[in-house]
Amino acid sequence: MDKSRRKFLSTAAVATASASMLATTGQASERLEHNQEELFSVLVDSTACIGCRKCEYACNKTHELNDNPLSFFEDRSVLQERRRPEHDAFTVVNAYKDARAKEGEAYVKVQCMHCNDPACVSACLVGALSKDRHGPVLYDAWKCIGCRYCMVSCPFQVPAYEYQDAVAPRVRKCNFCTERIHNGERPACVEICPNEALMFGTRKEMLDVAYGRMSANPDKYDKHVYGEHEVGGTSWIYLTHAGFQAAGFPVLDVQSPAEITENIQHGIFKSFLPPLALYGLLGLIMHASGQKEDSEDSKNA
């Protein structure tokens, strides 16, 4: 009996272990099926950003986050604060050290990166987050149960929560001005940008522009287009001079985290076979050990 018990445990263990192994050996799947022609992108050229915060103003206005006038955003002191997107500010501009730039600092706009293979979309258990074929990662508050697993999963720490709302709190983040781009317009922040620090186009075009600027001005740019490959690629991509780490971006793997968990998940649930096999195995053991018990009872009797 001891043996069969241990056997069960080891089988269960092996089953899970092999499912986990699938995760690490799983091929770089056909996950990135986006049609590159219709996948939109914004190129943020941090070397061209002057820290005017007009993008913040346009964003707040478009998404009706507040009524602050443009003059409110002319306060440049907040640039030093390394702010993060909040439930009432989907995009923020931060300053960072850059020896090449005037006054020794450059600026970078931060918002949802709109990953090609978003961890938040994979994490959400009710499909409240989804990836639009044009690139935006969208949130449907009606479906949301408020578990905040999307926030846990986001490698860029972007989604913000309306903690102050006791009744119907929402996850809040940039939606890539999805209505505007579906109408053929550019996102509000791109439209207002006075210095071509923000450029909107298909992802392929934006990558071409990025590499074009890089080769035209090799001294001006760090050789890394941030977001081209990070976590499977993002819709928003960045050029910097001082490097993406100086600009405050995390070092990330090229594999999307969603791929790791989904491989484990689908390994365990492959056509429901592993659970059914475990069920059958336990059924057999229950039957066999029950009969053994019976025969022992009758012997004893």
Partner 1 sequence: MHNHEQPSPITSPFFTTGTKILFGIMSLGILAYLYRMFYGLGASTNLDNQYPWGIWIAIDVASGVALAAGGFTTAALAEVFHKEKYHVIIRPALLTAMLGYTFVVIGLLADLGRYYNVWHPMAPSMWQGNSVLFEVGICVMIYLTVLYIEFLPIVVERFKGRVNFPGTLKSLNKITESVLGIADTTLKRVTFVFIIAGVVLSCLHQSSLGTLMVIAPSKMHPLWYTPLLPLLFLLSAISVGFPMVIFESILASRSFHLPPERHVLSSIAKYVPILLTIYFIIRVLDLVYRDALGYIFTFDGHSIAFLIEMSVGVLFPIIMLFNPKVRRSMMGLFVSATAAVIGVAINRINVFLVAYQPPYGNGSYFPSIFEIAVTIGLISALVLVYRTLVRIFPVISVDKTAHEAEMANPMHRSHNSGWVTK
Binding residues among 180-239 for partner 1 as defined by CB under 8 A: none
Stretch touching partner 1 by CB under 8 A, among 186-194, 195-203, 236-244, 278-286:
278-286
Choosing from 12, 32, 70, 78, the residue that interacts with partner 1 (CB under 8 A) is 12
Shortest approach of partner 1 to residue 76 CB, angstroms?
21
Site for partner 1 in 51-80 (CB under 8 A): none
Which residue, 131 or 134, is less far from partner 1 as judged by CB? 131
Position of tokens 């059958």?
280
Position of tokens 């989604």?
159
Find out whether 204 and 116 touch, Cβ atoms under 8 Å. Answer: no
Choosing from 36, 66, 68, 265, the residue that interacts with partner 1 (CB under 8 A) is 265
For position 250 contacting partner 1 by CB under 8 A, the verdict is yes
For position 295 contacting partner 1 by CB under 8 A, the verdict is no
For position 175 contacting partner 1 by CB under 8 A, the verdict is no
Contacts of residue 297, Cβ cutoff 8 Å, sequence gap at least 6: none
31-to-25, 231, 271, 276 alpha-carbon distances in Å: 15, 12, 19, 27
Shortest approach of partner 1 to residue 245 CB, angstroms?
11
Shortest approach of partner 1 to residue 66 CB, angstroms?
18
Site for partner 1 in 104-143 (CB under 8 A): 119, 122-127, 143
Choosing from 50, 61, 65, 84, the residue that interacts with partner 1 (CB under 8 A) is 84
Beta strands in 124-179 (DSSP E): 129-131, 137-139, 160-161, 171-172
For position 240 contacting partner 1 by CB under 8 A, the verdict is no
First-last CA distance in the chain: 21
Shortest approach of partner 1 to residue 175 CB, angstroms?
17
Which residue, 94 or 178, is less far from partner 1 as judged by CB? 94
Q: How far is Cα 215 from Cα 124, in angstroms, rounded to an integer?
A: 40
Find out whether 237 and 230 touch, Cβ atoms under 8 Å. Answer: no
Please count the residues of the chain. Answer: 301
Burial code (b: 16+ CB inside 10 Å, e: under 16) for 236-266 equals: bbbbbbbebebbebeebeebbbbbbebbbee
Kindly write out the interface string for residues 13-52 of this chain, putting x where it contacts partner 1 by CB under 8 A and - elsewhere: x--xx-xx--xx----------------------------
